[in-house]
Every structure is written in structure tokens, then in C-alpha cells.
Amino acid sequence: MRNMNIQFLIIFSSAFLGLNLSQAAEFYIQLPNQPIYQNDVFPAEIFVKSQDRAINVVQAELIFPANLLEVVLIDKVGSILNLWPKEPSFFNDSGVISMSGGLPDPGFQGQNGLIAKIYFKAKNIGEAALKFLPDSKALLNDGFGNKAALSLRTFGFQITSAPAGIRPKIFALPKDDIPPASFLPIISQTLLAFDGKYFVSFLTEDHESGLARYELQEIVNGKAGDWKVVVSPHVLENQRGDILVRVKAIDRAGNETVGEATVIIKPPYEFYLIIFMAIAALIFIIYRLLIKFNKL
């Protein structure tokens, strides 16, 4: 009987572990396969691996030694993620990097899913480490946003003095005279988001130098507003009138592509009802005054 219980525990434990493993994902970092010298600018490629279950949201939070490294650029070219609620951010003073993005159905399943490429400058000699924080997460593409069991590691490396005659490696943008891909912004409205206000969504890609930013302009009843840096989705500043929305995608080489969408937003039914009631009340008051005047 005791042996049977032990066997049952072994089987149950194996099944439990197998369940966790089937939902596991892993964040890892690929560093250059060559020495890193002081004053070098080098890439650290951030990858996700999820072989057994598809994921559709990634949040990667990292720390790095601010006395040894500084971030020069975060490059999203080639990333599996194409939905970024906000641009990746970094803080060289505190040594913190934050990236969060997603991708549509069916999500990502497999190995070597590039999240982003971070270019660091090696400021000083020493032993550096890149560490994922516990806030990092990957969500399963299961319709419920469940978290995948996530494996996080620390990646250490040495920064040394360059031998005599070796110049520091530098980062240069690739030559790019191709604008971002064409796209059409989509204007939407739902009671489930942004308090029922109209908003615009947009997305495109640039496979050469990568996207730098989006800018948006609203032209209302023929009057043009200023261009402003925005992220998708963006709530329209104007919620009434004949509106032309122009979204400009700008890559890091300065090439531009503009997409346009139009919408005519009329006042809601309640607005017309209030106006009707006000007019009716005014007519009633005038009618009463006329009756009173005739009696006199």
C-alpha cells in the first residue's frame, strides 16, 4: 500500500510538473560572441521562447549596472511584437529598461522570438550583468490573458580594456531611403473604452532603419490643427464635426508615410432632445405671454 501511494505521488507530481512545463516561457539575452571592450557600443538581443503554448503579450523589465553601461538605442526592427501601447523606455541614471508589447492572434509559439535589440555603450571596465525583474511576464494567447510560467535568468559578462590599436565599436544606422509601409488609420468608438469617445488606431512597419515615432494632425471642418507625437490608440481631441485625421509614420532615417481617415461626428441624441425641449419651453412661454397680453 505504501509503495502504491509513493507511485501515485510520483505520477501526480510528474503530471503537475508537465502541466507547468507545457505553459512555460523563457526570456533570454544573446550577447555578441566576441570580447566587449571599454567604449564599445554593442547589441544585446532580447528573446522569448515559448515552445508549447502561444503567447500574445510580453512585458520585459530589466536592470543593468548604470556605472558600467548606458543605453544608446532600443531597436524594434525584426521584433515579433507589432502592437506597442507605449514605446520602450530606459533610464540610464537608475539602470532600468521597460518594454511591453503584443501581437495579434495566433500569437507567437516557438524559439528565438526577438522582442527587441538594445544597444549599450560600455562606459567602464568591470563585470556587468543584465537581469530580468520579477515584474516581467508573458501572457498566453488563450483568450483569458493567463500568465505563462516564466523562466528568468541573469546574464553576466566582462568589460575589459581594448588591446593596443583596437578602436571602439560604434553604432551606425543602416542606409535607408525607403519610407515606412503604407497604412490606413482606423477611427472607432465603443462604450467599452475611453468613456465612449472616438479614437484612432494605426500600425505600420519599417524594415530598414525602424520606426522612430508617429505624429497626428486633426483637421476639423477644414481647420488644421498642429502635428503632435502620439501612440496608438489615440483619443481624438475633437469629438464633434467633420474630421480628417492624418497620421504620419516617421522612420529613424527621416522617411515619412502618411495615412488618412475621416469621420463625421454629430451631437448625440440627448443633445437634440435638450434643444427640442428648450425650444418647446420657449414657445410655451411666448404663448402664455400672448394670452395674457390679449386679456389686457
CB proximity list for 145: less than 8 A, separation 6 or greater: 57, 139
The pLDDT value given to residue 5: 44
**Check whether domain 23-160 has CATH 2.60.40.680, yes or no:** yes
Q: Which residue has the higher pLDDT, 285 or 93?
A: 93
Q: What percent of the chain has pLDDT over 70?
A: 86
Mean of per-residue pLDDT scores for the chain: 86
The pLDDT value given to residue 257: 97
**pLDDT tier at 181 (50, 70, 90 boundaries)?**
very high
**pLDDT tier at 208 (50, 70, 90 boundaries)?**
confident
Q: Are 92 and 176 in contact (CB under 8 A)?
A: no
- Report, in angstroms and rounded to the nearest whole number, the Rg of the chain calculated over CA atoms: 28
pTM of the predicted model over 0.75: no
Q: Are 152 and 70 in contact (CB under 8 A)?
A: no
Q: What are phi and psi of 250, to 5 degrees?
A: -120, 125
Q: Are 198 and 236 in contact (CB under 8 A)?
A: yes
**pLDDT value at 3 more than 90:** no
Q: What is the pLDDT of residues 45-103, one digit of tens each?
A: 999 999 889 999 999 999 999 999 999 999 998 899 988 888 899 999 999 999 999 99
**pLDDT value at 17 more than 70:** no
CA distance 160 to 223: 59
CA distance 270 to 279: 14
List the chain domain ranges. Answer: 23-160, 186-265
Smallest CA-to-CA distance from 180 within 212, 148, 142 is with 212
Q: Which CATH number fits domain 186-265: 1.10.10, 3.10.290, 3.30.450, 2.60.40?
A: 2.60.40
**pLDDT tier at 247 (50, 70, 90 boundaries)?**
very high
